[in-house]
Structure 1
């Protein structure tokens, strides 16, 4: 148990991989098996995983998202998609309505299922002594990514995962203070100073890719609409 907890607390994201390292089929199957064993609502398993080995496909992914070249240089890239098509086929077979657009709940269920499977994959990768990085920005070009992988209605990309043998050591990134995140029995107000203190913690940590204070980064991100095309895309996929 202590080894598992230590592994989880030691999580790092890696973006630099040995391009000559070949992931063994047994390793990939271990990762996929661990991922598929993740918890899911009602055992619905409302997700699918696309294993992307093809170099041409991965080159196209990087063309769409040039800030993440590791999608090409890693040993393998996994694309996790929320998948409500499987249960849509069940509804057709059973001859019943498929009311997944009556509320956001099915969308939340599928997103959660896919995210839990993704996290299991990350943990399995690290247990094998390898590294990975989650790529949420595949949603920035969601139409093109969906077309690239022939995603049918009721399916949409959640995030990708680059997996490989790291070539650059990373440090464990500090998290927000416990008092800013953990609440007991009820949601409690916290001192904003905790967030300002975290700004200084991250500044001292000094990760090169972080060019702004944590507060500035998210103030800038959320001050204007983002991914406004996502609603239209989800409607096109019969999910809204």
Structure 2
């Protein structure tokens, strides 16, 4: 099996890092360069990357996300931003209207660009023999995070990435059955038993962090009334009317 394929299929998330390990400037640059070469819509590169080394900033992020102390204890913490501020500057320079916010499409494109850059960073981290964890909870306190990181309008934090040298080994987590995820030519329905089988697979996997079945976790998540926090933030930032 080719090494890159093996690396991708062996992916696992690490949340415990050697606090004495320091990521070298050279390795950090390799990760950033790899992220910046990710595919991007029309070469728009509608994202930015924040490299957060400052311990005070990271302590504040952990205060808002206490279940993710690795944001402080990892070697470096990156935040990937959907960034439509750069193209707003371009519109101003060319003295043309800027209709971002009138459709959700630009935000979806910018979010995809940021996510692709994030994935490239994850692959680069693992190629260097290190570990990482993607942090979606960076979106839990959007107003406060935006103020802390001085985010301008037209910018949205998509996810963070803790990077470091793992000191606790993790196992490769089972994924949903292929038949429930992969379709050929057209979307095809499948037996719901496949999803229930996955609950059983994850019970046997026995990850301590998972306190609910997969089906229960997501039925709980998507049955809650939305807080409206993200919608309010997007409107305030000019990303959504």
Q: Does TM-score exceed 0.5, indicating one fold?
A: yes
TM range (shorter): over 0.9
Structure 1 139/227 Cα, relative in aligned 2: closer, same or farther at 3 Å?
A: farther
TM-score (norm 2): 0.98
Instruction: Give the conservation status (yes or no) of the 8 Å contact 1:140–1:227.
Output: no
Instruction: Write out aligned runs for 1:200-211 (5 A).
Output: 200-211=200-211
Deviation at 1:157, TM superposition (A): 0.4
CA distance in 2, matches of 1:75, 1:226: 34
Partner deviation per Cα, 1:74-121 (whole Å, 9 max, x = no partner)? 000000010000000000000000001221100000000000000000
1:118 aligns with 2:118: yes
Question: Matches of residues 1-240 of structure 1 in structure 2 within 5 Å?
Answer: 2-240=2-240
User: What is the CA distance between 1:163 and its match in structure 2?
Assistant: 0.1
What secondary structure sits across from 1:158 in the alignment?
A: strand
SS in 2 for 1:175: coil
Q: Secondary structure at the match of 1:61?
A: helix
Deviations 1:3-54 (A, max 9, x none): 0010000000000000000000000000000000000000000000000001
Query: What is the CA–CA distance in structure 2 between the aligned matches of 1:225 and 1:130, rounded to whole Å?
Result: 38
After superposing on structure 2, the runs of 4+ consecutive aligned residues of structure 1 that deviate more than 6 Å are none
> Partners of 1:175 and 1:45 in 2: how far apart?
30
Q: Distance in 2 between matches of 1:82 and 1:116?
A: 11
Note the C-alpha offset of 1:225: 2.2
RMSD: 0.8
- What's the TM-score, normalizing by structure 1? 0.99
- The Cα shift of 1:173 comes to 0.1
Indicate the SS of the match to 1:82: strand
